[in-house]
Chains A and B, each alone.
Chain A
Amino acid sequence: MTQMIHLDMSKMADRHLVIAYAAILIAQFGYAGWVAYNIKRNRPTP
């Protein structure tokens, strides 16, 4: 049985962990979304 990490958001360390994970996921998927949007916009016209 696995146990989830127990976060205590009153601690700076735990807040930083959450911010870092969120920043990484937002930046990575945001960039992928930006590239996908531009690929669609640059689709050659028939």
Chain B
Amino acid sequence: MPRPQTLRTLLRLWLALTLIALAIGLRLAITAPVDAAQGNIGSMIYYHVPMQVGGLTFPFVNLLGSLAYLYYRSRDLERAVAFDALAVAAAEVTVLFLSVGILSGMLWAKPVWGIWWTWDERLTTCLLLWLLYVSYLLVRRFSATGQRYTISAVLSVFAAIDVPIVYMSTRWYRTQHPSPVFFGDPNAGLDPSMKPAFFSNFIAWLLWGFFLIAIRYTLERRRQRTHHAAVQHAIANPEAQ
């Protein structure tokens, strides 16, 4: 197991690399050629898509943490709570990415489609995914039973089922939302001049998302240790209560 100081140094290096990548991404986004059909608003693709891709990637980290928690909860409690911390970190970052992804999508839709929102399959399933992860966080925050970690872990398994549905919705249905730019129709794709801006932002925001999960995990582990120490203290000193 690496020492905490080594992990801190690695995290700082990761942050520095990510900030450089984000700065390069922003510069490329504002200097890339403007979309011929949409004008300046077409540049929304450089930020909207990475937010949505993050919102569809981090649920898998949450799922991994939740499944591992369910597996270890009766075998190795210390390991189980560590995976639970990973799950909650990923869920919060998922909500963050989906929130700004949906908001930027609405701001893009109004000038291009003439409407802020429509209940097509892509938008509806994406909103449902956001609601599922908000519910996950609310269950953790407000559930009064001692089973909150198990309940939220099971909820996360159900929430993850929506991820492939969101991804496939523009392939299965005819939607107001455009059909896939990548891995879709043979005629679909991005103009080569837009690719550096797109992929630099895509990679930079994913790096940033994993960085956020790492620091949120650190925070959750500290909270768990503080809570554990408080419980131990209360058991050792019952007269202090």
Contact = CB atoms under 8 A, between A and B. Distances in A.
Interface in A1-46: 2-8, 11-14, 16-17, 19-21, 23-24, 27-28, 31-32, 35-36, 38-39, 42-44
A44 to B, nearest CB: 7
A31 B215 CA distance: 11
A44 B48 CA distance: 38
A28 to B, nearest CB: 7
Interface residues of B, number: 34
Contacts of B107: 16-17, 19-20, 23
B157 interface: no
Interface of B: 30-32, 34, 38-41, 43-44, 47-48, 51, 96, 99-100, 103-104, 107-108, 110-112, 208, 211-212, 215-216, 218-219, 222-223, 225-226
A7 B40 contact: yes
Given A5-B30, A32-B215, A24 B47 contact: yes
B111 A35 contact: no
Contact of B100 (A2, A6, A27, A36): A27
A46 to B, nearest CB: 13
Contacts of B47: 20-21, 24
Given A20-B104, A21-B47, 6 more contacts: A5-B31, A8-B40, A13-B39, A14-B40, A24-B100, A27-B96
Nearest to A36: B215
B62 to A, nearest CB: 16
Contacts of B30: 4-5
B43 A5 contact: yes
Contacts of A38: 219
28 contacts: A2-B31, A3-B31, A5-B31, A5-B43, A6-B40, A7-B40, A11-B111, A12-B110, A13-B40, A13-B111, A16-B41, A16-B107, A16-B108, A16-B110, A17-B107, A19-B107, A20-B48, A20-B107, A23-B107, A24-B51, A28-B212, A32-B211, A35-B219, A39-B215, A42-B219, A42-B222, A42-B223, A43-B222
